[in-house]
Structure 1
Amino acid sequence: MTHASLLRRITDYASRADPYPLYEELRKTPVLHEEEGGPYVISSYYDIKGLLHDPRISSDAANATAADDEFSAPEATGLPPSFLRLDPPEHDRLRRIANSSFGPPHCPGRLDGMRGELRTIVSELLDGLVGAERIDVVDQFAYPFPVTVICRLLGVPREDEPRFRAWVDPIVAGLDPGNRDDPDTGPKAAQEARVQLGMYLAELVEERTRDPRDDMLSDLVAGHGPDGAMSMMEVLSTSVLLLIAGHETTVNLITNGMLTLLRHPEHLERLRADPGLSVRIVEELLRYEPPVQFVPQRTCITDIELRGVTIPKGSRIWLVLAAGNRDPERFADPDRFDPDREDIEHLGFGSGIHSCFGAPLARLEAQIALAELARRLVDPRLIEDPPPYRTNAVLRGPRHLNVEVDGVLPYRPRA
């Protein structure tokens, strides 16, 4: 295999079901630069971890050329970049304001107070499957669960899901480098969808300005804490980010989790007997099958020397989190799914200032979801392995996960 073909094979849909042998090949050249003007691809755990904390690596769209990052150009999208695509100090200010309505110190009980509601949503979804002999875990459970949660948290009407999904899908597709030249799924389509989603959310934001409620949109409009309020455009950009990030990765985490447990039935049985094991299972899943495979949107703002390679100022960097998560220099027997690992300091939620904003909620959703699936599905069996995958190389997960069951147990409170 030539290096010139490696990156293309990683992003090729043919590799989606199992990219890990390619990641193993990638780690043989920890700083891979295939062609002039192309990205520098980083694949070792310690290098990725270091660069995620390195201030010489920028997330700001202003430091990327239009050709590199059309999706984030404010003049093209009509919205400023979200704080995910900014550097300090602006990143820090916007993230603190957003966090003030998500958790401590301003709303310390919001997330913990949702536990009962999360269990209720899961129970209602599974109650709707009682009597089924065949289930698509994605369409009937893993997608509607986090969508319902983020809608309630933000204050977006759940019944509007078909409307905003038509915009979310092209935005997410635009994150995939493999779609860069596709007019239907590339940056231009993503730009247009982001404008439409922003306009939709603007209507809700205006409502909250007149009539505040107990939701994150109202909090973002009001602005709490020493950093004051966001501008209206910042509120819209942040709302777009939270709505998308609040469910897209969690769908993959739950689906990848159930697929992995079905492939490792001994751990599914353990989880059925001990729902508390879900905490360790989710952490190992974030290492073993992370929902975000790599981060393709970073730029060097100065020359960087790494493993004897000089990465020039202005170069793009791809950080392949999933390759780092299976780096044998960091994890023993890395290709083995082992919830009993004593040290699972994974890169599943990134690291540094851009670590996943919604990680506490995603963890809780996945823990509850997998524990209840294990408890209530009777003898679940994969119909197709590997299942069909989503086309996206960045946000990797099955598009469908069809299973046969001997029944779905009715809800009973745990003793």
Structure 2
Amino acid sequence: MTSLLRQITDYSNRANPYPLYTELRKTPVAHDEGGPYVISTYHDILSLLHDPRISSDARNRTASVADELQQPDQEQETTLPPGFLKLDPPEHDRMRRMTNRPFGPPHSPQRIESMRPELGEIVSGLIDSFANGGRIDLVEQFSYPFPVTVICRLLGVPREDEPRFHTWADTLAASLDPAPDEDHSERDRIAKEARTQLGMYLAGLIEERRKSPRDDMLSALVTGGGPDGAMTTMEVLSTAALLLIAGHETTVNLITNGMLTLLRHPDVLQRLRHEPRLAVPIVEELLRYEPPVQLLPQRTPIADIEVRGVTIPKGSSLWLVLASGNRDPQRFEDPDRFDPDRKDIQHLGLGSGIHSCFGAPLARLETQLALSELARRLDSPRLVEDPPPYRQNAVLRGPRHLNIEFDGVRA
């Protein structure tokens, strides 16, 4: 089993880990002495995501770090308090309530939907910048810049400062995806410097918004107004960093995985070109079929729990392989087939339970708009290479580059 886990995290299998997941599901609770407990079937994963005995707080883990993925985490070590994704109730619930108040229902039901026209303008502007025919790298020229621009607008970063935000986001993204021969100490130094600069910038912006609030999410976070009060400056900083890193990275992968899948299924791409509403079910099927987050490697039981007759001890390391659960034939019919007409797509692509993806409404809308406009406006798009080169990161799985040739750009 250790060999199989190593194969799953081995870069050589990044382009197609799904046959390995099929093998993994034959042992629904996989464990090798000294390693993590790995859960790979849909119903077991769903149950554990809703189990209050499963902690997201690393302080509850007593297992050796040797069993963890040997790659950077989504949130690098900083002097900031942990984002609420890595907290348990009641701290998690308080922080999530405070963050959600200016973000979505019931208090701000129109926050995301009201951004639709602006998101459309950003998408159109990026596509307009493509040469009228030729080749693009979708990741560099579209999938990366789009979500970080959206996060800037959501938080209320001034337009003139957006290029600085893009630079910091690019640097931090690179730190999550190191090359095997890269100097890790130099990478960490550059990433630390970027985090420091980002933190100093956000701290200054927070103080500005505290004195002169505007109609943006950062202002709402610092002024509060709900029963939980306002966040501290440090809490606002950690939440803003979480929105930037976690929200940006997953959306980049979802858009890129989505376009790759559509180019591999030209009949669906053609349908989307003429039926823009098809973008909604397409995105849901993509979240099942090619999820941007493949597995959750940092969960810990706070008590001994039993799964399928196997006792998982308190404090051990637990991996929940979401992408494997999404391809579980015990849950989905013909799971390896991409089918946007699938009637039952209760996927695990955005997690579930109290830690389900906070930014899901925004990620969905961004990806729907992105894919529908790319399908409508690119004339005869085609892959330059398949499979494309993938990122090193086994958790946040997606192409590092996606080179596409096309004959022109429609108005």
Matches of 1:189 and 1:40, distance apart in 2: 34
Contact 2:302 2:315 in 1 (8 A): yes
Q: Secondary structure at the match of 2:379?
A: coil
Structure 2 residue 226 is the aligned partner of structure 1 residue 229 = no
Distance 1:171 1:155, change over 3 A: farther
Structure 2 residue 33 is the aligned partner of structure 1 residue 35 = yes
Q: Which runs of 5+ in 1 are unaligned?
A: 411-415
Matches of 1:171 and 1:212, distance apart in 2: 33
Matches of 1:200 and 1:309, distance apart in 2: 49
Coordinate RMSD, CA, aligned: 2.5
Q: Which runs of 5+ in 2 are unaligned?
A: none
Matches of 1:166 and 1:282, distance apart in 2: 25
TM-score (norm 1): 0.91
Matches of 2:409 and 2:251, distance apart in 1: 23
Q: Who is 2:172 aligned against?
A: 168
Q: Structure 1 residue 140: deviation in Å?
A: 1.1
Aligned length, in residue pairs: 402
Matches of 1:337 and 1:71, distance apart in 2: 31
Q: Structure 1 residue 166: deviation in Å?
A: 5.2
Q: Secondary structure at the match of 2:225?
A: coil
The superposition leaves residues 368-404 of structure 1 with CA deviations (integer Å, 9 ceiling, x where unpaired) of: 1111111000000100000011111100111111111
The superposition leaves residues 64-101 of structure 1 with CA deviations (integer Å, 9 ceiling, x where unpaired) of: 259538989x9962111110000111100100100011
Contact 2:379 2:406 in 1 (8 A): yes
Structure 2 residue 339 is the aligned partner of structure 1 residue 341 = no
Q: Who is 1:413 aligned against?
A: none
Contact 2:63 2:315 in 1 (8 A): no
| Alignment partner of 1:56 out of 53, 57, 68 | 53
Q: Secondary structure at the match of 1:371?
A: helix
Distance 1:204 1:184, change over 3 A: same
Q: For residue 325 of structure 2, what is the amino acid of its counterpart? A: G
Q: For residue 8 of structure 1, what is the amino acid of its counterpart? A: R
Q: Who is 1:18 aligned against?
A: 16
Q: Secondary structure at the match of 1:346?
A: coil
Contact 1:167 1:194 in 2 (8 A): no
Q: Who is 2:143 aligned against?
A: 142
Contact 1:102 1:110 in 2 (8 A): yes
Contact 2:168 2:194 in 1 (8 A): no
Distance 1:367 1:350, change over 3 A: same
Contact 1:71 1:190 in 2 (8 A): no
Distance 1:184 1:301, change over 3 A: farther
Q: For residue 27 of structure 2, what is the amino acid of its counterpart? A: T
Matches of 2:206 and 2:8, distance apart in 1: 40
Q: Who is 1:81 aligned against?
A: 82
Distance 1:236 1:65, change over 3 A: farther
Matches of 1:240 and 1:66, distance apart in 2: 28
**Runs of 4+, deviation exceeding 6 Å:** 69-72, 188-192
The superposition leaves residues 316-361 of structure 1 with CA deviations (integer Å, 9 ceiling, x where unpaired) of: 1010000000000100100000011110000000000000000001
Matches of 1:192 and 1:168, distance apart in 2: 10
Q: Structure 1 residue 147: deviation in Å?
A: 1.2
Superposition pairs of residues 63-212 of structure 1, within 5 angstroms: 63-65=60-62, 68=65, 77-156=78-157, 157-165=161-169, 167-169=171-173, 172-173=176-177, 183=185, 194-212=195-213
Distance 1:400 1:166, change over 3 A: closer
Q: Structure 1 residue 104: deviation in Å?
A: 2.1
Distance 1:43 1:75, change over 3 A: closer
Matches of 2:239 and 2:63, distance apart in 1: 22
Structure 2 residue 239 is the aligned partner of structure 1 residue 238 = yes
Contact 2:62 2:316 in 1 (8 A): no
Matches of 2:21 and 2:333, distance apart in 1: 16
Q: Secondary structure at the match of 1:32?
A: strand
Superposition pairs of residues 243-254 of structure 1, within 5 angstroms: 243-254=244-255
Distance 1:373 1:396, change over 3 A: same
Matches of 1:66 and 1:171, distance apart in 2: 25
Q: Structure 1 residue 240: deviation in Å?
A: 0.7
Q: For residue 123 of structure 2, what is the amino acid of its counterpart? A: V
Q: For residue 328 of structure 2, what is the amino acid of its counterpart? A: D
The superposition leaves residues 89-135 of structure 1 with CA deviations (integer Å, 9 ceiling, x where unpaired) of: 11001001000111123222111111111111111111111413111
Contact 1:130 1:409 in 2 (8 A): no
Matches of 2:221 and 2:132, distance apart in 1: 43
Distance 1:315 1:94, change over 3 A: same
Q: Secondary structure at the match of 1:305?
A: strand
Q: Who is 2:364 aligned against?
A: 363
Q: Structure 1 residue 296: deviation in Å?
A: 0.7
The superposition leaves residues 301-330 of structure 1 with CA deviations (integer Å, 9 ceiling, x where unpaired) of: 000111111101110101000000000010
Contact 1:167 1:197 in 2 (8 A): no
Q: Who is 2:378 aligned against?
A: 377
Matches of 1:91 and 1:234, distance apart in 2: 12
TM-score (norm 2): 0.92
Contact 1:97 1:224 in 2 (8 A): no
Distance 1:65 1:132, change over 3 A: farther
Q: Who is 1:409 aligned against?
A: 410
Matches of 2:156 and 2:81, distance apart in 1: 22
Contact 1:82 1:237 in 2 (8 A): yes
Distance 1:7 1:238, change over 3 A: same
Distance 1:215 1:234, change over 3 A: same
Q: Structure 1 residue 211: deviation in Å?
A: 2.5
Superposition pairs of residues 246-265 of structure 1, within 5 angstroms: 246-265=247-266
Q: Structure 1 residue 61: deviation in Å?
A: 2.4
Q: Secondary structure at the match of 2:297?
A: strand
Q: Secondary structure at the match of 1:110?
A: coil
Matches of 2:281 and 2:171, distance apart in 1: 35
The superposition leaves residues 215-260 of structure 1 with CA deviations (integer Å, 9 ceiling, x where unpaired) of: 1111111112111111221111111101112211111111100000
